[in-house]
Every structure is written in structure tokens, then in C-alpha cells.
């Protein structure tokens, strides 16, 4: 199973790790210098959550946190909320 979001398809991206050395000019130094650039992988923040699908079934999915926060998925309700009994007053 690939480490991608099952909703938006977000996966790992490649980027650079930039290593610097020196003191910044505004702090009284001669400026920072780049001493090394290596490749690295940016991984998405995936969470395994129980989701209620559009058909009403519950299933476990790997979803990125942006999809969770934006409301793209609805989390499973474990228990019904507490309701007061309907009595005759």
C-alpha cells in the first residue's frame, strides 16, 4: 500500500536540504554561505482514520491532515450522542 492520501492523492515529494554556515550580516557577520545541498523527501502527514463513506459504510483510510481539517471526509461516529428521554411534563 503506497503512502499516499486516499482522498486527494498527495504523496511524497523530493526537495533539497540546504546546509548553511556563518553569521548573518544583520547580526554583525560577513553573511551566511551555503556549504552543502543534498536531496531529501518531503512526506505527507497521513493519519489512519475510520471514515463514513457516502454509502453509509465505515472503513479505515489513510488521509492527509489537510483533508481532515477541510472536511473532505467525515469521521465515524463511535456512539450516538446522549439524548434526554422524552417524558410527559
We report the CATH number of the domain holding residue 22 as 2.30.170
The total of structural domains in the chain comes to 1
Predicted pLDDT of residue 32: 95
Instruction: Give one word for 7, left, alpha or beta, with left for phi > 0 and alpha for psi -120 to 50.
Output: alpha
Q: Are 2 and 11 in contact (CB under 8 A)?
A: yes
* pLDDT band for position 86 (cuts 50, 70, 90): confident
Q: Which domain holds residue 63?
A: 13-70
For 7-58, the pLDDT digits (tens) are 999 999 999 999 999 999 999 999 999 999 999 999 999 999 999 988 888 9
Give domain status of residue 19, yes or no: yes
Q: What pLDDT does 33 receive?
A: 97
Amino acid at each position: 500500500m503506497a503512502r499516499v492520501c486516499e482522498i486527494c492523492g498527495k504523496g511524497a515529494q523530493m526537495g533539497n536540504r540546504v546546509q548553511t554556515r556563518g553569521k548573518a550580516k544583520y547580526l554583525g557577520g560577513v553573511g551566511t554561505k551555503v556549504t552543502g545541498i543534498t536531496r531529501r523527501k518531503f512526506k505527507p502527514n497521513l493519519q489512519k482514520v475510520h471514515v463514513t463513506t457516502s454509502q453509509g459504510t465505515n472503513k479505515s483510510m489513510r488521509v492527509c491532515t489537510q483533508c481532515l481539517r477541510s472536511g473532505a471526509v467525515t469521521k465515524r461516529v463511535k456512539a450516538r450522542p446522549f439524548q434526554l428521554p422524552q417524558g410527559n411534563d
